Amino acid sequence: MLNAIVIYESKYGATRQYAQWIAEDLQCRVVERKALDINDVKKADVIIYGGAIYAGGVSGVSFLRKNFDVLETKRLVVFTCGLSNPADNQNTGPIRERLAKTLTPPVMEKVKIFHLRGAIDYSRLGVIHKALMAMVVRPVKKKNPASRTAEEQQMLDTYGKAVSFIDRDSIGPLVEYVRRL
C-alpha cells in the first residue's frame, strides 16, 4: 500500500471524525491542517484532504493550490463534509464548481473528490455561521411548502437543532479507492 496521510480542517468536528476513520481504515497518519509539517506531506505518496463546506466553499482547500509544487507528484484525494445529501448531483455540482474556481486546472486534473454528509448543532455555531444558516433558511421558509424539496423541508424541520448525518460506512468508496492506488 502507498504511504498516505490524511489532512483535515474541521471547526465543529464532523470532518475530523471522518478524517480519523479514514486514517484508521488506511492505517496512516492523520493531522489537522494548522498543525501540519510540510515535510510529512513530502514523505507521503497519497494526500487525502478533508474540509467542511461553508457558504459553498471547502474550508482550507486552498492548501492544495498553495502547495502544488510539493503535491504535483502525489496522488490527491479530497473529501468534503456538508449537510447536503451527496447522493444528489444538484448538491455536489456546485461544490465541484466552487472547487474548480479555488483550485487551478492542474490541481483539479489530479484530484479525486468524494462528498460526505456531516452534522450541525446550532447551539455550537459561532455568530457568523448562525447568520449564514439564517440566510440559507430564509428563502426556503418563503417558498410554497408544496414546492420545497425533501431536503429543504428537512432543513426547516431541523433548523435550530442538533442533527447528524455522519456515517462511518460512507467512507468506504474513498478508502477502497485509495487501497486500489
What mean pLDDT comes out for the span 67-81?
Answer: 93
Indicate if 93 and 176 belong to the same structural domain. yes
Indicate if 111 and 147 belong to the same structural domain. no
Indicate if 16 and 56 belong to the same structural domain. yes
Both ends of the chain: CA-CA distance in Å? 8
pLDDT at 1: 61
Hey, what amino acid is at 133?
A: M
Q: Whole domain around residue 146: which residue ranges?
A: 120-164
Indicate if 35 and 112 belong to the same structural domain. yes
As for how many domains the chain has, the answer is 2
pLDDT at 74: 94
Helix or strand holding residue 117 (H, E): strand 111-117
pTM of this prediction? 0.89
d(CA 30, CA 19): 7
Quick one: the chain helix, strand, coil %, rounded to 5?
50, 25, 25
Q: What's the mean per-residue pLDDT of the chain?
A: 91
